[in-house]
Structure 1
């Protein structure tokens, strides 16, 4: 019996200290796109940072989505496997969607560019909690769902969906 249905999210930060090809691609592609797309929110070229652009024009928040479109192909190369979160056996957790956000950026300083990707799992069945271990399975209808164990860390955000309640008649 399930304790609850949940989604798990984990956030990955991308800055100038990229280590993998995937991280470098996200960092460089989003900075290049930020340079192009921010011109619409930088009238007079007096604003240099993303936060300044938002203060001057709330529509600058649209840059999150515009930069996300730029890296959709790169995200697809992950084949829905979270690069930053794995179960206790080392198998990557699957994600259903990833959302890009600009933490900060600066047109005059590429080293100040920071973006995040928040990966969110498909619906999971929480079967049990043992100390800091979650026993989970993917919620796939009509299939026997293999359980796996995930150690809780400060990287995780657990989104509670629904519990099953015992009904006495």
Structure 2
């Protein structure tokens, strides 16, 4: 029987309104890294915002990648589990393989204007069913099992199905 194998994307937005310690550390360290890395693209100190750098400086989009290095240690603390997404029993369950860091906004003179996103991409899941607004999923494996352990979780803001593949 064919299986629907999906990858989910959770977009975690972090700015000065986040109150969890992990979020605050990521916010502060990514801001410090942005200030440091942006100096290379702003040697004449003409621009203060990320948007101005993108509009006026060649290769400024590389700042997404360069600043992402400042948060990799924090991602390791998550031990491969996506934060904030809980199943219907209140447990974090969604494993991730990849992430993409994104600078949304920043100003070298004002940490309160610094805003980032971390897009987490889940490991492959089998999508068994949808019950009301909840997805019933299990970890994808190549082997056939007699019993499959599942998670039921409500769809929530900033979670979407990133890709789908039908597997025979």
In the superposition, the TM-score normalised over structure 2's length comes to 0.90
**How many angstroms apart in 2 are the aligned matches of 1:61 and 1:141?**
38
Gaps of 5+ in 1: none
1:37-56 C-alpha deviation (Å, 9 max, x unpaired): 00111131010000100101
57 and 143 in structure 1: CA distance in 2 versus 1, 3 angstrom threshold: farther
The residue correspondences of 1:1-169 to structure 2 (distance < 5 A) are 1=1, 3-92=3-92, 93-142=94-143, 144=145, 145-163=148-166
96 and 164 in structure 1: CA distance in 2 versus 1, 3 angstrom threshold: closer
**How many angstroms apart in 2 are the aligned matches of 1:4 and 1:142?**
15
1:116-138 C-alpha deviation (Å, 9 max, x unpaired): 11111101111112221211111
**How many angstroms apart in 1 are the aligned matches of 2:73 and 2:157?**
29
Shift of 1:19: 1.2
Contact 1:2–1:127, Cα closer than 8 Å, also in 2 = no
Contact 1:41–1:53, Cα closer than 8 Å, also in 2 = yes
SS for the counterpart of 2:82 is: strand
SS for the counterpart of 1:29 is: helix
**How many angstroms apart in 1 are the aligned matches of 2:4 and 2:83?**
25
**How many angstroms apart in 2 are the aligned matches of 1:95 and 1:83?**
10
Contact 1:10–1:84, Cα closer than 8 Å, also in 2 = no
CA RMSD of aligned residues (A): 1.7
**How many angstroms apart in 2 are the aligned matches of 1:2 and 1:76?**
34
Gaps of 5+ in 2: none
